Amino acid sequence: MTLLELLTSVENQQNTSIDEKFDAFSYTTELLGSDLQQIYNYRYVNSIFDTCSDRDEVKIYIDYEGDSRVIFRNISTVHENFSEEFESDNIYLIRIEINKIFVENRLSIYSSNTFVTWLKSFQKLEDCFNRFSKAMMLQGQIQFELLDDKHINLATSKFTFFKQAECPVSWNKDKLLEQRKDYCFVSGKQIPDIIPEDFYLLEKSDDEKLNILFDKLCLFSTLTFIADITEIKDNSIYYKLYGYKTIKNDFTFEDLDIGNLQALFKIYQWIYHDDNHSSISDKLGIARNLLTLHLENNNLNSIKGDVYAAIKSNFDIYLKENVQRYLEVKNQVSAFIHDMSIKAESHAESFVETMKNTLLIFISYFLSIIIVTAIDKGKFVNVFTFEVTVITMVILIIAWFYRKNTINDINVKTERFNEKYFNFKERYSDIIEPDHFDSLFNKDKDHNSDVTYIENTVKKYDPLWKWTIISLGFVTLFFCFYHDTFTCFDKLIHSISFFIGLFSG
């Protein structure tokens, strides 16, 4: 026996009322004390607790003239002879209140008819949204567990009144809502974060009014994803569509015609759930243009012709017209990247060429010294005199700073190289869709490869350049001091003294 059957089976009840919402169920009735003594015994109260779901909190109040004589929170608080406390001639108010709790996205429904009636009984659209707001905060599909043995075959991606073998496809709700923020404006009080799939009926119930409620909520949500502006104010829905014509209109929730739901829902799915990853902005723009041409008397409830087919055809034409433009842009980008690669190679090669020329100058200089000295003295003795050593060291010091300047110059060119590339990308970011932008520039792989090539060239050849200068300097000083140490030190001291006197004077 269900809870509702157990409660309604009691005879002689008066002023009975049943109320059920998402978060609570309540049953209120009045009984004469004599009937209360016979019926509300320990066994009966225990049956009430047994027929309630373990996830819910149950309280039983028995009041007399506004004073709660007995409050049961669980079976352990019930004593067997509690009914003897009631006077036979008194009329008692019995309240059974159940605080319903979502557990693993399941919610108890104790009176299906009462719950469905509550869903459909709202005065304002904002009040309707407020009723669904708590459920909308939960992730995933919600199952209403019918504990009165009734059957409601209604199911959407968000709600179901029956247990399914497999849950319907779960959409990325947060992503869809973020996309709506990018292209549409929705305002009003207490509007929950809903998407059309939350109320789109996968299975219809036998209650036509309940089906219509869900269809209207689905159609309203679909409108918020298509119209430029949607606003709820004073139980009216205001919308604006900017296309080939500007459509401004309003209607009440009761006046909303669900006859166009399937057409608009297909348009919504085509825009936001496209496996080809086409531009939402482009598709939404074409949809708005065509919708404004197909609305009779600027009324969303009256759409003439197959607007979905018209939108699809126009988008195909749009794609064909833009293929050539896209290829032209792609060729321009490819040519730019190719030119940048050539420049990168040029920068790297100029650095290597400069280093080679410097080393050739050093080799020529040292060979000339050796040859001239050998011809002059007839043998290779004391090639690096003090004077030659000084000149050589000055040349090596100049070469060292020249090397540093060359490296700084190549770094500046690399920075400029980067700047030109990203400036070029920025100019094209306005005319290329984000979905294609990264692939068109190959996610900067070519550019990063060019920069890495320049940096690796400098890292590879700079040590050779640096250690060549250091080695030549060491060899020069070594042979100078080796052949005539005393003379070198003497001239070195005189030279230092000369420069100190020159600068101090």
In a domain, 334, yes or no: yes
State whether 415 and 477 are in the same domain: yes
Residue 502 pLDDT? 47
Among residues 305, 328, 351, the one where a domain terminates is 305
Task: Tell me the residue ranges of DSSP E strands in 14-153.
Answer: 14-20, 24-32, 57-64, 67-72, 91-99, 106-109, 142-146
CA distance 400 to 403: 5
> Does one domain contain both 53 and 137?
no
| 434 and 463 part of one domain | yes
Query: Does 44 lie in the same domain as 8?
Result: yes
User: Is 315 a domain residue?
Assistant: no
Position 404 scores a pLDDT of 84
- The angle that helices 386-428 and 445-483 make with each other, rounded to 10 degrees, is 170
Same domain, 125 and 220: yes
Contacts of the segment 335-340: beta carbons below 8 A, 24+ positions apart: 336/424, 337/441, 337/442, 337/446, 337/447, 340/417, 340/420, 340/421, 340/446, 340/447, 340/450
Q: How much is the pLDDT for 191?
A: 75
| Shared-domain flag, residues 224 and 142 | yes
Count Cβ atoms below 10 Å from residue 492 Cβ, excluding itself.
Answer: 15
Q: Are residues 168 and 266 in the same domain?
A: yes
Distances (CA, A) of 434 to 244, 285, 431, 443: 25, 16, 9, 12
Looking at the structure, tell me whether residues 399 and 290 fall in a common domain: no
Strands 142-146 and 106-109: parallel
Instruction: Provide the domain count of the chain.
Output: 3
Nearest C-alpha neighbor of 75 from the set 92, 58, 93, 99:
58
Length of the chain: 505
Quick one: DSSP state of residue 273? S
354 plus 410 within the same structural domain: yes
In a domain, residue 465? The reply is yes
Predicted model pTM: 0.63
Residues with Cβ within 8 Å of residue 405, at least 6 apart in sequence: none
| Whether 126 contacts 189, CB under 8 Å | yes
In a domain, 187, yes or no: yes
Indicate whether 314 belongs to any domain: no
Domain edge (last residue) among 100, 134, 152: 100
Same domain, 268 and 411: no
Q: Which pLDDT score, from 0 to 100, does residue 276 have? A: 67
In a domain, 312, yes or no: no
Residue 460 lies in a domain: yes
Q: What is the pLDDT of residue 249?
A: 86
95 with 119, same domain?
no
Domain that holds residue 190: 109-305
Would 311 be classed as within a structural domain? no
pLDDT tens track of the chain, all 505 residues? 899 999 998 888 999 999 999 999 999 999 888 888 888 777 888 888 889 999 999 988 888 876 766 677 776 666 666 767 778 888 889 999 999 999 988 999 999 999 999 998 887 888 888 888 888 888 888 899 999 888 888 999 889 987 664 555 567 888 898 999 999 999 877 677 889 999 999 989 888 999 999 999 999 999 999 999 999 887 788 889 988 888 888 888 888 888 889 999 999 999 998 766 678 888 898 888 888 888 877 777 778 878 888 888 787 777 666 656 666 666 777 777 777 777 777 777 787 788 888 878 777 777 776 666 655 555 555 666 666 777 777 777 887 888 888 888 888 877 887 788 777 777 666 556 555 666 667 777 877 887 787 778 878 878 877 887 787 777 777 666 665 554 555 555 555 554 455 445 4
Pair 390, 494: CB distance under 8 Å: no
What is the per-residue pLDDT for 140? Answer: 83
Residues 94 and 127 both lie in one domain: no
pLDDT on residue 446: 79
Pick the last residue of a domain from 42, 72, 100: 100
